[in-house]
């Protein structure tokens, strides 16, 4: 790409997820160098919904953006706050893991960490620590 890509904040990007790993991403496949510029987008600008008939499942991952052929100064302004990912069809115990979105363009369906498990684990570790001190 010879010039920076700068999406207009008035534009809309609403991909539908099929889950087949070929129709669930935007591919920036150009040669040369440049910048993928996302700073004009506002929070929630990248809407993500499931295609009709697709049933989401725990552990399903989606590679929304692919920029492997881009070199140069890289990517600017890309963050998970830009996502407005739908949870329609989700089990109430699931959430989107967006930790790899800014680095790899990937989001994944994961379990919500249960506070009770964390609390009991902390209590158990504390009891183990106290028993070792005696």
Q: What is the full DSSP assignment across 66-132?
A: E-TT-EEEEEES--GGGEEE--TT--TTEEEE-TTHHHHSEEEEEEPPPHHHHHHHHHHHHHHHHHH
What average pLDDT does the segment 103-114 reach?
84
- If you average pLDDT over every residue of the chain, what do you get? 71
Extract the tokens encoding 50: 């499931």
Residue 3 Cα distances to 6, 42, 74, 93, 124, angstroms: 9, 22, 12, 43, 56
DSSP state of 27: E
Extract the tokens encoding 57: 């499942």
* Residue 99: band (very low, low, confident or very high) from pLDDT cuts 50, 70, 90: confident
Query: Does residue 2 register a pLDDT over 50?
Result: no
pTM (predicted TM-score):
0.60
Q: How far is CA 80 from the centre of its chain?
A: 6
DSSP state of 13: B
| Residue with more model confidence, 130 or 27 | 130
């Amino acid at each position: 790409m010879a010039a920076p890509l700068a999406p207009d904040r008035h534009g809309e990007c609403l991909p539908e997820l099929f889950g087949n790993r070929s129709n669930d991403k935007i591919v920036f496949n150009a040669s040369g160098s440049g910048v993928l510029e996302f700073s004009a987008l506002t929070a929630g600008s990248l809407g993500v919904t499931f295609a009709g008939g697709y049933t989401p499942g725990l552990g399903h991952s989606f590679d929304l953006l692919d920029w492997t052929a881009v070199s140069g100064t890289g990517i600017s302004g890309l963050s998970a706050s830009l996502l407005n990912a739908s949870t329609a069809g989700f089990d109430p115990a699931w959430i989107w893991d967006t930790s790899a979105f800014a680095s790899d363009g990937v989001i994944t369906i994961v379990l919500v960490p249960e506070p009770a498990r964390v609390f009991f684990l902390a209590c158990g570790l504390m009891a183990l620590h106290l028993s070792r001190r005696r």
